[in-house]
Amino acid sequence: MANEFNMSEKAQEIYKQIEEFCEKEVKQQAMEADAKEGDILDIIEKASKLGFNALDVPKEFGGIGLSKMDSVALLEKMSWYDAGFGITISANGLASGPVVIGGNDEQKKKMYDIILNGGIGAFCLTERNAGCDASAGESRAVRDGDDYIINGKKCFITNGPIASYYVVFAMTAPEKGAGKGYTAFLIDKKVDEVEGMSIGLVEDKMGIRNSQVSEVLFDNVRVPASMRIGEEGQGFKLAMMTLDIARITCGITAVGICQRALDEAVEYAKNRVQFGTALANNEVIQFKIADMQMHTAAARELCKHATELYMKHLPFSSEAAMAKCVAGDAAAYVTSEAVQIFGGYGFMHNYPVEKLMRDSKIFQIFEGSNEIQRLVIGRNALR
């Protein structure tokens, strides 16, 4: 095992467990689930029993408290096996982010207890008219005594149908605009345990089909004021700060896809004989492999760099955006080249690179499209 992330001993142990688990439970099953309708809930439950959903729960809350670098390294490995699996697990980090950054100890304990019991979360920000323009959300939260009443429709919510807790963003003061009008709430329950909360459309997607994505609907949902995360009006900043971190994990998931595509292409090129020699003996294929490896390595290094800055409490917003953007573009490029090397076979469902190419596309779109990442980087550079 190449320890490119300088993983701790504990993380190296877990890396081996992940490899063993994924070889047995994910590799083949993910291909089969992708062809049907992408339900890998039983795999997620088994993975959660082994604690793969709880890698960075801090020790003071009963977790093993791995460093961010460790959990990023492990996420690349999970995503190598299946990006839908990786995203399901990493969306837990996205959902927990606002509580980690702005929540109080009671909220953290409630959330970490759920995670340590195998639960995963959902981050409910996006709406039909508020995707890239996250500030355009129309969901409302109105104070009513000791509660807030939430109404609204969230869409494209990763883990929507399977989450055990939800972090929801809604306007408490629309007249102040998103920057000061959004507030975040923790709902520490499954959807069917909350009156007025339901799952709408479950999306049928091009790629990462093993990640469950749906609408989450709020119809007069009562949330105790004690579950408000931070102060009223802090929601947008909590969302943005969380997305900064999530862009690193999104990037490393894309790196997992790149590495898998590269490994599959190398193996194929060594074994496929055309014109009396292995594909690998042709310079044109060697150059393709070299380019694929360069893009993969560069994307990984950017993810590591952003993680290092984050761990040192230094500004990392631009670097996280770079990591996500470069890794998303790399995944689209590397998987397309892998399909090219596989030729006609690469186009067929029963070879893995076709799925990798479909899986890769969303990494240029979600958690802020790559145009948004460029906007973040450009704005910061010109500030």
Question: Is residue 92 within the footprint of ligand CAA (CB under 6 A)?
Answer: no
Q: Minimum Å distance from CB 44 to ligand CAA?
A: 15
Least distance (Å) between residue 246 CB and ligand CAA: 7
HSE-CB at 191 with a 13 A cutoff on CA atoms is 21
Region of residue 345 (left: phi > 0; alpha: psi -120 to 50; beta: else): alpha
Query: Could you say whether residue 134 binds ligand CAA (CB under 6 A)?
Result: yes
CB atoms closer than 10 angstroms to residue 329: 18
Distance CA 122, CA 232 (A): 21
Q: Using the rule CB under 6 A, is 173 a contact of ligand CAA?
A: no
Which range in 41-49, 51-59, 66-74, 124-132 contacts ligand CAA by CB under 6 A? 124-132
Of 5-13, 192-200, 235-243, 275-283, the segment contacting ligand CAA by CB under 6 A is: 235-243
Q: How far is the CB of 162 from ligand CAA (least distance, A)?
A: 12
Closest approach of ligand CAA to the CB of residue 167, in Å? 10
User: What is the b/e burial string over 20-47, where b = at least 16 CB atoms within 10 angstroms of the residue's CB?
Assistant: ebbeebbeebbbebbeeebebeebbebb
Q: How far is the CB of 106 from ligand CAA (least distance, A)?
A: 24
Contact between residue 73 and residue 259 where contact means Cβ atoms under 8 Å apart? no
Binding mask 337-366 for ligand CAA (x = CB under 6 A): -----------------------------x
Is residue 200 packed enough to be buried (19+ CB in 10 Å), middle (13-18) or exposed (0-12)? middle
* Burial class of 62 by CB neighbour count within 10 A (0 to 12, 13 to 18, 19+): middle
Q: Does 132 help bind ligand CAA (rule: CB under 6 A)?
A: yes
Binding of ligand CAA at residue 114 (CB under 6 A)?
A: no
Name which of 72 and 292 has its Cβ closer to ligand CAA.
72
Between CA 91 and CA 83 the distance in angstroms is 12
User: Considering the rule CB under 6 A, would residue 126 count as an interface residue with ligand CAA?
Assistant: yes
* Catalytic residue check, 367: yes
Residue 234 makes contact with ligand CAA by CB under 6 A: no
Cβ atoms within 10 Å of 377's Cβ, excluding its own: 17
Give the binding site for ligand CAA (CB under 6 A).
Answer: 91, 123, 125-126, 132-135, 156-158, 179, 236-237, 240-241, 243-244, 317, 366-368, 372, 375-376
Catalytic residues: 367
